[in-house]
Structure 1
Amino acid sequence: MTTTAPASGAHAAGSAAPGDEPLLEISDLDITFTTSTGHVNAVRGANLTVYPGQTVAIVGESGSGKSTTAMSIARLLPPNGKVTGGTIRFGGKDITKVRNREILALRGSEIGLVPQDPMSNLNPLWKVGFQIREALAANGVAQGAQAKRRTVALLEEAGLPDAERRAGQYPHEYSGGMRQRALIAMGLAARPRLLIADEPTSALDVTVQQQILDHLDTLTGELGTAVLLITHDLGLAAERAQHLVVMYKGQVVESGPALELLQKPQHPYTRRLIAAAPSLASRRLVSVKERAEVVEQARTTAHAEAPATTGSIPRSASDTIVSVEGLTKVFPIRGSVPWKSTPFTAVDDVSFDLRRGTTTAIVGESGSGKSTVAQMVLKLLEPTSGRVLFEGRDITEIKGRDLLALRRRVQPIFQNPYGTLDPTFSIYRTIEEPLRLHGIGNAKSREAKVRDLLEKVSLPASMLQRYPNELSGGQRQRIAIARALALDPEVVVCDEAVSALDVLVQAQVLQLLNDLQAQLGLSYIFITHDLAVVRQIADHTLVMERGRVVEQGDTETVFHSPQQEYTKRLLGAIPGGSIPLAGSETIEVEVDTELGVDAEAEEIAERDGARSPLGEEPTDPFTGAGHV
């Protein structure tokens, strides 16, 4: 593997002058973790340079070592992690060999941190203002009344309205974007020289993400703070950083000025990242022609195969399989007086049609009502007014045996692959369960069906004996897809089905969904906040804002000729959209879009073989009894 070390003059694209000394210089860094099975070399020979006032981004997929490298700077590695080689020079001093008290003095005051998840990195028991005051006191910036005034000023600086009142609120009273702003305020409280931003916007909508990153750019620019940005999105990194460092399997494989690296990537992995990033790929994929071929094949399959149903929901002659008419959902919101509530309209008069073998995307920010629409289509929520028609029949009237038939024909794939699989079920039991619940086949036929589904999502049969905690995020999402397909549905509702995945895995799952749609004649309702993803998979797009559909049409029209300001704002917030890519229309890259068996799965298959889950029958973890 060829490693391109950062050139000494690479900072020229940033705000540092050629004569500046590096603020941070990492040389030949090795980081090792001690595990029950031995030593794991998480980072090997990494090199990285950050100059004063410069923004440097480390990009790579989960497990590439980017966060481990960043956390080693402030000595925040887990107890079993240790720097075993190389140097980390901060302000000219090697801090790998200094005592803990010196590192503690650097944290906050010289090196700030904005952690990844705004939902879990604020203590839910403490008010936000108290947590910021605690950071101010810990770094010797201010105490008492002065700290209170400083806290309000920091929250105002971070862009929070009514900062004095907000300081007295708990984290659960903040939105995701507000929590991230509070963490940025905390990270910059002591005016550090270096700010480590670890995936600071990965949990946020694109528009909120843009606001947060714009604000971070403004603040760090005014303060002269250098930023080390950790992200898996190359488009976002290239838009925000002057210098990019690409990591793969613990090594720096390529490094250079952002625009140059995007236009002339040297390493195959960098080219794969560029190809997989929706924010970059969506502008240059010949997706119109490819989607047309997928839809034509899917519609042919959908019309050719009659559904296998057990209830009395006959197949209609119409080309429309799902029709949503005037859908409205009102929730009662309890106020300060327990017996009084205020009506909140989450979905307001939404209408659209889903044609057989096509994909309709519903996009919008968090709180726009798109997931509530999905839940009503799945009959997990009852509408306040309006109706959802499946094969021409109102699903609100469906009960009993017909409802069971509906469940077979309309299946969901949810957002979080870590939370939607039962950790006590083996993979075999996870996929086989819906077949058993619906009384389909016998033990032998169900095993054959599960093996076929696993093959469809490109995973080896040896995985049937494993459990969710033994799989990566991408593998878990493929298992969730296999489970959704177990009952041979016609409609699949994908609720943010790829938003929790790295861009490479996301590209693989999107390709998989495309392939399955063509093979099985599936129709998708695709819920997402990311318009870059929509362009790769959707034929028809609805844009929702505050419960209402503000724009809808075929996807290419929405992208090329948006009519509403809100849609234009969503499109403008796609990271990397303003970056010119040389030869972007004809670039050819080697991307693992075939999925196949990934390296981890291949290793498992070689080690375990393809044993039958019925040969060594999976047992219930609580009773010890077989489940088949």
Structure 2
Amino acid sequence: MTETPLLEIKDLRVGFRTDKKTVLTAVDGANLVIYPGQTIAIVGESGSGKSTMAHSVIDLLPGSGHVMGGQILFEGHEITHSDRKAVLALRGSSIGLVPQDPMSNLNPLWKVGRQIKEALVANGVATGDAADKRVVELLEEAGLPDAERRARQYPHEFSGGMRQRALIAMGLAARPKLLIADEPTSALDVTVQKQILDHLGTLTSTLGVAVMLITHDLGLAAERADHLVVMYRGKIVESGPAREILQDPQHPYTQRLVSKAPSIASQRLSSVQAREEVRVQAVQTAAEIAAEVAESQAALGEGRDDVLVAENLTKIFMLRGSKPWEKVEFAAVDDVSFRLRRGTTTAIVGESGSGKSTVARMVLDLLPPTSGQVIFDGKNLRELKSRSDRLRLRRQMQPVFQNPYASLDPLYSIYQSIEEPLRTHDIGTQKEREAKVRDLLDKVSLPTTVMSRFPGELSGGQRQRVAIARALALDPEVVICDEAVSALDVLVQAQILELLNDLQAELGLSYLFITHDLAVVRQIADDVLVMQNGKVVEASSVSAVFDHPTQEYTRRLLDAIPGGSISLGR
């Protein structure tokens, strides 16, 4: 590493204007230095200013954002208030960008190769046939097999990981000296994430490219960065070697991030630990009695210890073959069986396409199985024919979905959103329903003042709390959480997990928890099923799966957890 900085940010202040005045200071007095070939990770929750600071470097601030003060120097030259021509000359050729959401940043009407070629032409790297040839080379560098054919495909024909690789190819097309990677893998499964980051690391180190990695994942930051910068409310509150900060965080906010990060936390949440200790002690003192009860219940066909039983679930979809008239069978779920013990959490884990969400939809009776059955409280769901029986089932099983921004009607107030299931099932008077909504908001730690507000006025974490309150409105026995925390920042994610654990202890709820994140599983679940290609490849207690995985696929999932092997000082 040379002593001459590649990028210097000095006392940077960035704000956003309304028509009359600046109402928000997004970055407040930030100082940062990046040297050639260095990888720096900037971590912090949503709204901390990390992406705003990065985008100010290449003059891509959204809307009314503007630099209010300070300096940005690139290779010693002041670029803070450079004219547009000078900024455009830097973009791509000297400073590359890999944005967060590939679907929002790739043109759906253009083939992928054309979009990479555009980056080459715009930066004067190559034109014509030479550019076409270089596109294929870049896609091969990014790890895409059959790159020549892939270049002729559209973004919707790529998987999420493939689209991200295409964006990396575009970001590195002109061989920039600095690459800004803004949450480049946050929407990807851990195994795909590892492949992408390994490849990005190899490319950047081979080319000598410096990397500014924007992330909220401390484990990822610890593994991938030399230097760690922690941002909180627009300020840099801690900066230094990544491992040193994670081993001995000084600022209270950094300490909170480290303690709550699921990818580097070695223990489950305190509320779970306390509940687990009580449960283990009770099981030990009453083991013989429990065995006798279970045996007698099985003999009577009651199965009261298992609130939910899935037996040999299979779901086959008919897909279009290579010819228009051909139909091909695709087994999304293949002979899956499991039991959900009352008052516990069973997690179903796997990569995208493993079939876990299809299982959840069949359990919720939203999708009929091709074969197999789901038994809830001793009743076979396939035998529920009447509307009243299905309504009763809806009351007893409730979902919490992945995206808090899409799961609530934007035209309904928070009160209307939570009260709607009560009206649908004709429960209580208006006064009683209002009292119920107030009680539910209290349970999810939201003030009753939010009742008159709308989803657009709440944060992601607040919306997910509302979604949980709505799911609890009908006093269900089972809550099915389908990637319920994957879209949330680490601190908000920890709050929601702790809330779910506390509600389970208070209300005796049973959870079926669908996720691709094994780090989260360790904090929330008692039992776990690992799915691959529609099949269950491993099923056991969480401790057994983490400590003694029997399948190579499970070991790969565990190894892919960012920072999973890092031991912390606190």
Provide the TM-score with structure 2 as the length reference: 0.94
Matches within 5 A, 1:569-608: 569-582=556-569, 587=570
**Contact residue 272 and residue 501 of structure 2 kept, 8 A:** no
Confirm or deny that 1:110 pairs with 2:94. Answer: yes
Q: CA deviation at 1:335?
A: 3.0
Matches within 5 A, 1:157-556: 157-283=141-267, 289-293=273-277, 316=302, 318-399=304-385, 400-556=387-543
Alignment partner of 2:135 out of 144, 151, 154: 151
**Contact residue 156 and residue 163 of structure 1 kept, 8 A:** yes
Q: CA deviation at 1:238?
A: 1.1
Alignment partner of 1:562 out of 535, 549, 552: 549
Aligned to 1:28: 11
Measure, in 2, the Cα distance between the counterparts of 1:131 and 1:254.
38
Q: CA deviation at 1:517?
A: 0.3
Measure, in 2, the Cα distance between the counterparts of 1:274 and 1:196.
24
Confirm or deny that 1:98 pairs with 2:82. Answer: yes
**Where in structure 1 are there 5+ consecutive unaligned residues?**
1-15, 300-314, 588-628
Q: 1:68 to 1:409 in 2, by over 3 A?
A: same
Q: CA deviation at 1:578?
A: 2.9
**Where in structure 2 are there 5+ consecutive unaligned residues?**
284-300
Provide the secondary structure at the position in 2 that maps to 1:526: strand
Measure, in 2, the Cα distance between the counterparts of 1:564 and 1:200.
29
Measure, in 2, the Cα distance between the counterparts of 1:249 and 1:553.
42
Q: CA RMSD in A?
A: 1.6
* AA of the residue aligned to 2:334: D
Measure, in 1, the Cα distance between the counterparts of 2:270 and 2:17.
46
Q: CA deviation at 1:209?
A: 0.3
Measure, in 2, the Cα distance between the counterparts of 1:317 and 1:188.
58
**Contact residue 540 and residue 553 of structure 1 kept, 8 A:** yes
* AA of the residue aligned to 1:319: D
* AA of the residue aligned to 2:522: R
Provide the secondary structure at the position in 1 that maps to 2:102: coil
**Contact residue 297 and residue 521 of structure 1 kept, 8 A:** no
Aligned to 1:591: none
Aligned to 2:292: none
Q: For 1:283-331, what per-residue CA distance to the aligned partner results, in whole angstroms no more than 9, with x for missing partners?
A: 58678743515757999xxxxxxxxxxxxxxx95621110000000000
* AA of the residue aligned to 2:109: L
Measure, in 1, the Cα distance between the counterparts of 2:243 and 2:522.
24
Provide the secondary structure at the position in 2 that maps to 1:348: strand
Measure, in 2, the Cα distance between the counterparts of 1:439 and 1:492.
21
Provide the secondary structure at the position in 2 that maps to 1:280: coil
Q: For 1:144-166, what per-residue CA distance to the aligned partner results, in whole angstroms no more than 9, with x for missing partners?
A: 10000000000000000000000
* AA of the residue aligned to 2:11: D
Measure, in 2, the Cα distance between the counterparts of 1:319 and 1:268.
43
* AA of the residue aligned to 2:421: P
Pairs aligned (count) = 551
Q: Quick one: percent identity of the two aligned structures?
A: 71
Deviates more, 1:471-480 or 1:31-40: 31-40
Measure, in 1, the Cα distance between the counterparts of 2:271 and 2:148.
49
Provide the secondary structure at the position in 2 that maps to 1:109: coil
Measure, in 1, the Cα distance between the counterparts of 2:131 and 2:38.
29
* AA of the residue aligned to 2:344: T
Q: 1:298 to 1:374 in 2, by over 3 A?
A: farther
**Contact residue 7 and residue 72 of structure 2 kept, 8 A:** yes
Measure, in 1, the Cα distance between the counterparts of 2:402 and 2:320.
28
Provide the TM-score with structure 1 as the length reference: 0.86
Measure, in 1, the Cα distance between the counterparts of 2:27 and 2:128.
43
Provide the secondary structure at the position in 1 that maps to 2:25: strand
**Contact residue 124 and residue 171 of structure 1 kept, 8 A:** yes
**Contact residue 297 and residue 519 of structure 1 kept, 8 A:** no
Measure, in 1, the Cα distance between the counterparts of 2:118 and 2:568.
45
